[in-house]
Amino acid sequence: MSGNKKRLLSGLQPSGELTIGNYCGGINQFLQYQEQYDSFLFVPDMHAITVPQNDPIKVKERIRRFANLYLACGLNPDRCTFFIQSEVPAHNQLAWILECHTYMGELSRMTQFKDKSSKYNNIGCGLFTYPVLMAADIILYDANVVPVGADQKQHVELARDIVKRMNGKYGSSCPGGQLFVEPTPLIAKVGARIKDLQDPLKKMSKSAENPMGSIYLLDDDATIKKKINRAVTDNDGKIWFDEEAKPGISNLITLYAALSKTPIEDVINRFNGMERYGDLKKEVIDVVQSVLQPVRDEYYRLEKSDYVDKVLDRGRDRAKEIASKKYELISSIVGFGR
């Protein structure tokens, strides 16, 4: 599983149902790299409560659904360490140390905090500090690369800044002069920011209020068709790619390119000048359905078994071993204990 491979870490928080945006920016990327790296994939359930979750039973069900969905999408459990974040206490423990080395000003600049905090009246501190927990997730496993969508790039860059700061302060007491590894974000060339189908100026999100704006991984064919047919476009009747002038059409073209794994230029050439939006929508419907139908089938098969528990138990044990060693090293370096 490991050898001399570099490490990769990726996760999707169970804060709502997984969307085709999460698939394009997160899952798809992970699948592409999982064999090339010593890959760690986890369900960041502790991140999910940074925004209000009113029903703990639903959170628990969603964690299980996410885990089965990762497998259904093609995660190879023989190649990856797959686990649930809250089952590895070192994430939380390291996050505290890192919080004490992160500046308020840095966290105040996080655009995702600005976006999300504007949606709620009472904001928990966890929403503010969650990028530090994400840094701990990455740093514990010495992850070299972190596949993310465009919205998470800033958080990986923060993790990198924290690493540099910690290495500068404590690195000299470590073998090789380096306490932590600097992570690099891996951003998809196409599909790093899929937009909401009802408001193509906003990104598609798990927690969006209007379900018509998002395609969920377990949507059936009829729902996918309805959502894409009703996707907001414009009135000029010409198809071309321009994210500012034609956000709705450009989003559909991007979705097609990301899912059909076709270079965006080829897709643009193919659709450029087509006159009927219905023709474009039909092709997008076909490609989304063809990607999601096998995922759905596999998900409903897995859901009936306890296979996922076996995979998660094994993943937890490996993750715990690596993470607790790393945490013990750091806690002793910062001076904790006797």
Q: Which residues bind ligand AQP (CB under 6 A)?
A: 12-13, 15-16, 19, 21-22, 24-26, 148-149, 151-152, 191-194, 203-207
Residue closer to ligand AQP, measured from CB, 10 or 179: 10
Residue closer to ligand AQP, measured from CB, 152 or 170: 152
Q: Which DSSP string corresponds to 314-327? A: HHHHHHHHHHHHHH
Query: Distance (Å, rounded) from C-alpha 278 to C-alpha 162?
Result: 49
**Minimal distance in Å, beta carbon 325 to ligand AQP?**
26
Residue closer to ligand AQP, measured from CB, 120 or 336: 120
**Minimal distance in Å, beta carbon 170 to ligand AQP?**
28
Query: Distance (Å, rounded) from C-alpha 65 to C-alpha 83?
Result: 13
Question: What are the residue numbers of the active site?
Answer: 116, 203, 206
First and final CA of the chain: distance in angstroms? Answer: 36
**Minimal distance in Å, beta carbon 146 to ligand AQP?**
8
List alpha helices for the chain, DSSP H: 20-22, 28-33, 45-48, 56-73, 90-99, 104-108, 111-117, 125-140, 153-170, 221-229, 247-260, 264-271, 277-303, 307-333
**Minimal distance in Å, beta carbon 265 to ligand AQP?**
20
Residue closer to ligand AQP, measured from CB, 15 or 330: 15
**Minimal distance in Å, beta carbon 297 to ligand AQP?**
23
Residue 235 corresponds to which tokens in the numbers above?
């009135």
Find the residue with minimal CB distance to ligand AQP. Answer: 25
Residue closer to ligand AQP, measured from CB, 149 or 315: 149
Neighbours of 305 (CB within 10 A): 10
**Minimal distance in Å, beta carbon 175 to ligand AQP?**
32
Query: Distance (Å, rounded) from C-alpha 177 to C-alpha 302?
Result: 46
3-state secondary structure of 194: coil
Q: Give the orientation angle of helix 277-303 with respect to helix 221-229, to 10 degrees.
A: 150
CA distances from 302 to 4, 215, 289 (A): 32, 21, 20
Residue closer to ligand AQP, measured from CB, 155 or 281: 155
Query: Distance (Å, rounded) from C-alpha 324 to C-alpha 139?
Result: 12
Task: Output the 3-class SS for 73-88.
Answer: HCCCCCCEEEEEHHHC
Residue 304 corresponds to which tokens in the numbers above?
């009936």
Residue closer to ligand AQP, measured from CB, 193 or 320: 193
**Minimal distance in Å, beta carbon 249 to ligand AQP?**
17
Q: Give the orientation angle of helix 277-303 with respect to helix 56-73, to 10 degrees.
A: 100
